Amino acid sequence: MSASFPSVTAPPCDHLTITEDLRADLARAHLAARSMLGCDHLAADAVQEALVALWRQPEPPPERRAWLVRAVVLRARHLRRTLARRQHHEHGAAAHCALHQGCDNPLHHAFAHELGERLDAALARLPAEQRTAFELYVQTGLDYRGIADRLELPIGTVRSRLHRAREALQAALGDVAEGQEPGGSQPRTTSR
């Protein structure tokens, strides 16, 4: 089955031929966008959008260089505002979650949430005695003697409960410990 694309009628754009002058203008526009956005990829996006707008012009602008730089600057400003707005909303949505502190990468956020959900489910499946000992160890930082005193148990019992809890959690989250992403997929590596 082949994909069908809507037909596009090209506007008259005889004035847009790639010349050395245009290449130089594009390089200048790219530098302007790069200085505003701080990223080559975003600068290239701004230049591309300006080129599309120039291509759609029925008549060539009287001062192509000035028009192009102005169009790139306007698009770079728009991209910068859009990114700032998006970052503000993403941080606002994640402000309540301790998993997001110090990280702006959405992939890391998704990974941390999935790992947190799996850890919560694995903890819920532990027997109550193991879960209590493990939670005391993690949440309070007590050593074996402190947990034994708090639970009024022999220290050997606390050690065995913590050992069994760790084994159960490692079995439930084994793919993460082996370097796989949650869900069983291998992390991407690049080969040279």
What is the value of pTM for the model shown? 0.42
Per-residue pLDDT, 180 = 52
Per-residue pLDDT, 103 = 66
pLDDT along the chain (192 residues), means of 10: 46 60 85 88 90 85 87 91 80 61 68 83 92 91 91 93 92 68 47 40
Per-residue pLDDT, 87 = 76
Per-residue pLDDT, 75 = 92
Q: Identify the CA nearest to 25 among candidates 71, 74, 69, 60.
A: 69
Per-residue pLDDT, 149 = 93
Count other C-beta atoms under 10 Å from residue 15's C-beta. Answer: 13
Q: pLDDT tens, 156-178?
A: 999 999 999 999 988 888 766 55
Domain ranges of the chain: 20-87, 106-177
Per-residue pLDDT, 113 = 78
Q: Spell out the residues 6+ positions from residue 190 whose beta carbon is closer than 8 angstroms to its own.
A: none
**Terminal Cα-to-Cα distance of the chain (whole angstroms):** 36
| Domain range 106-177, its CATH number among 1.10.645.10, 3.20.20.70, 3.30.420.10, 1.10.10.10 | 1.10.10.10
Whole-angstrom Cα distance, residue 40 to residue 28?
A: 13
Per-residue pLDDT, 91 = 64
Whole-angstrom Cα distance, residue 159 to residue 147?
A: 10
Per-residue pLDDT, 158 = 93
Contact status, residue 103 vs residue 60, Cβ threshold 8 Å = no
